[in-house]
Amino acid sequence: MLFILSYSWTALFRVAQITLLFVIVMVLLDYVLLFSRKRNITIERIMPDRFSNGDLNKVQLTIANRYHFRISIKVIDEIPVQFQRRDFLVDAMLNSNELKTVEYTLRPVERGEYVFHDTNVFVKSPLQLVVRRIKNEGHQLVKVLPSYQSLRQFELLAYSNNLSEAGSRKIRKIGHSLEFEQIKEYVTGDDIRSINWKATARKGGQLMINNFTDERSQQVYCVIDKGRVMKMPFEGMTLLDYAVNATLILSRVALIKQDRAGLITFAENISHFLPADRKAAQMGHILETLYNQQTKFLESDFEKLYAHIRTRITQRSLIVLFTNFESLSGLQRQLPYIRHIARNHLVLVVFFENTELRQLTDSPAEDIESLYTKTIAEKFVYEKRLIVKELQQHGIFTILTAPQNLTVNTVNKYLELKARQAI
């Protein structure tokens, strides 16, 4: 601008030259300050070697300033392509020899392998004339596994017999088990039918009571439908992913309750069969099996599922079937096979409520078109309730749940059936 104005005012030409020289000197000085040493900035990405699917996972970037002056930085971390985040940018100021930790969270919605690429830091000195990019070439592979964060939460609650905090409720117990545990002093609320009169006489009148515990070592099989009905998304995750997370947690709770946990996955064919067991390595086998499950686009074959259960599971077991039915006709095609399975086993069918339709039915109709749309949505919601009644009429336990409540509702139902000694 000074050079342009000097065409009219020649006295400004000398000022423009001096200013240009000053800018050049300052740029060179800024360049020397930033590029004088190679390792003035150190970067380290700290994160676990595996992520929990559907949960928030923490990633830390540790940045150290080795310059002898205050700098401003912009950090761009090349996160995996599965997250589709193109707006990641962190601004910060670092004093001389300061160590700063930048934290952010990522929520994966697909199981599999995720690759983190380079971490780029753009540095400016107090002069703000030159920008230096420092790249940390650190490719890191992370496996996204089923939701093990929720697994730890339910595991602690199960060990402490405090699953009510996760949503389970206490129910009235019908009868009691015949598996003797111990003799203890009578307290208010104990069943007087279990008073041990011989032990009471030896105690000189202090009432003693026989304490019984729940029968153990029942078989619990989680059966996951991998057909096209489980491809439907909800908050970025497919219904299959919600079923996988619930299966992992239910299996762990069953093992803590001394039951044996098993797993079956199927679509047009039987994909995986893991016999029920309660060995120490069983959870590792279940986690490894669930990690590789993917939905398919063919219709699931319930006839093959029935034949497989009939030949491979000979002991009466709890069969928790994770599937989805969007219409009554879809249920009626598979109902004969589910009824055959229910003859020899206790069957719990878990399928999903369409929450988008529920929101549509709850919203007011503003015109004729929205009224027709709302009426059709209410028809589908009503069919879901008819599916529940149809299954209950044949003595099949049913859970109709929103995807986000799947784990809590499934664990609750398992504990209820176990308390009733229905298995």
pLDDT digits (tens, 9 = 90+) for 145-165: 888 777 666 655 554 555 544
Q: Which CATH superfamily is domain 148-172+215-419 in?
A: von Willebrand factor, type A domain (3.40.50.410)
pTM confidence score: 0.72
Distance (Å, rounded) from C-alpha 319 to C-alpha 309? 10
Partners of residue 377 on adjacent β-strands: none
User: 194 phi and psi, to 5 degrees?
Assistant: -100, 15
147 by DSSP, 3-state: which? coil
41-145, what's its fold? Answer: Immunoglobulin-like (2.60.40)
Q: Is the pLDDT assigned to residue 106 strictly greater than 80?
A: yes
Tell me the average pLDDT of the chain.
Answer: 86
- Better-scored residue on pLDDT, 208 or 179: 208
- Between 37-51, 177-191, 222-236, 334-348, the lowest mean confidence (pLDDT) is in 177-191
What single letter denotes the amino acid at residue 258?
Q
Per-residue pLDDT band at 97 (split at 50, 70, 90): confident
Q: Is the pLDDT assigned to residue 360 strictly greater than 60?
A: yes
* CA-to-CA dists, residue 272 to 264, 277, 286, 292, angstroms: 6, 15, 10, 10
Q: What is the pLDDT of residue 351?
A: 93
Distance (Å, rounded) from C-alpha 11 to C-alpha 304? 95
Q: What is the pLDDT of residue 169?
A: 47
- Per residue in 275-318, pLDDT (tens digit) is 999 888 999 899 889 988 888 788 899 999 999 999 999 999 99
Per-residue pLDDT band at 204 (split at 50, 70, 90): confident
Q: How far is CA 63 from the centre of its chain?
A: 30
Per-residue pLDDT band at 175 (split at 50, 70, 90): very low
Domain ranges within the chain, ordered by starting residue: 41-145, 148-172+215-419, 179-213
